[in-house]
Amino acid sequence: MTDRTLEYEGYRPAEERLRESLCTLGNGYFATRGALPECGADDVHYPGTYVAGCYNRLTSEVAGRRVENEDLVNLPDWLPLRYRLAGGEWLTPDTATVLDHRQTLHLEVGLLERRTRYTLGEGRALTVRQLRLVHMADPHIAALRTEFTAEGGAAELEVEAAIDGSVTNAGVPRYRDLDGSHLTHVQTGTATPGTVWLRCRTRTSDIRVALAARLTAPAPITDAPGPTRAVQRLTLSLTPGRTETVDKTVALHTSRDLAISDPLQAAVERVSAAPDFDGLPASHRTAWDQLWRRAELDVPGEAGSILRLHLFHVLQTLSPHTADLDVGVPARGLHGEAYRGHVFWDELFVLPYLNLHFPEVSRALLHYRHRRLDRARAAARATGRRGALYPWQSGSDGREESQRLHLNPRSGRWLPDHTHLQHHVGSAIAYNVWQYCEAGGDAEFLHTKGAEMLLQISRFWADSATWDESLGRHRIRGVVGPDEYHEAYPHSERPGLDDNAYTNVMAAWVLTRTLDVLRTLPAPRRRELVERTDLDDGETEHWEHVSRTLHVPFHDGIISQFEGYGDLAELDWNAYLERYGDIRRLDRILEAEGDSVNHYKASKQADVLMLGYLFSPTELQGLFDRLGYGLDEETWQRTVDYYLARTSHGSTLSGLVHGWVLARCRRSEAWKFCQEALRGDIADLQGGTTGEGIHLGAMAGTLDLVQRGLTGLETRAGALWLDPVPLPELSSYGFSIAYQGHWGIRLRLTSGRLEIAVPPSDLPPIDVELPDRSVGVEPGETATLVVPD
- Is 125 in a helix, a strand, or coil? strand
Query: What burial class does residue 1 get, using C-beta atoms within 10 Å of its C-beta: 0-12 exposed, 13-18 middle, 19+ buried?
Result: middle
Q: Nearest-CA neighbor of 766 among 788, 742, 746, 744?
A: 742
Q: Where are the beta strands (DSSP E) in 135-242?
A: 141-151, 155-164, 183-192, 195-202, 208-216, 222-225, 229-238
Catalytic residue of the set 401, 438, 484, 676: 484
Q: What are the percentages of helix, strand and coil residues in the chain, rounded to 5?
A: 35, 25, 40
| Cα 447 to Cα 427: distance, rounded to the nearest angstrom | 18
Contact assessment for residue 34 and residue 24, using Cβ atoms and an 8 Å cutoff: yes
Contact assessment for residue 305 and residue 665, using Cβ atoms and an 8 Å cutoff: no
Q: How far is CA 19 from CA 10, 107, 142, 143, 693, in A?
A: 12, 14, 19, 20, 11
User: Read out DSSP for 316-331?
Assistant: HHS-GGGGGS----BT
| Cα 202 to Cα 480: distance, rounded to the nearest angstrom | 34
Backbone phi, psi, residue 192, to 5°: -145, 160
Contact assessment for residue 700 and residue 330, using Cβ atoms and an 8 Å cutoff: no
Neighbours of 762 (CB within 10 A): 5
- Is 251 in a helix, a strand, or coil? strand
Q: How far is CA 193 from CA 196, 236, 718, in A?
A: 8, 18, 61
Q: Would you call 484 a catalytic residue per the annotation?
A: yes
Classify the C-alpha dihedral 221-225-226-228 as positive or negative.
Answer: positive
Q: How far is CA 226 from CA 79, 160, 209, 230, 537, in A?
A: 17, 13, 17, 6, 67
Task: List, in order, residues 6 or more apart from 397 with CB less than 8 Å away.
Answer: 372, 375
Contact assessment for residue 419 and residue 480, using Cβ atoms and an 8 Å cutoff: yes
User: Read out DSSP for 507-563?
Assistant: HHHHHHHHHHHHHHS-HHHHHHHHHHHT--HHHHHHHHHHHHHB---EETTEE-SST
- Give the residue numbers marked as catalytic: 484
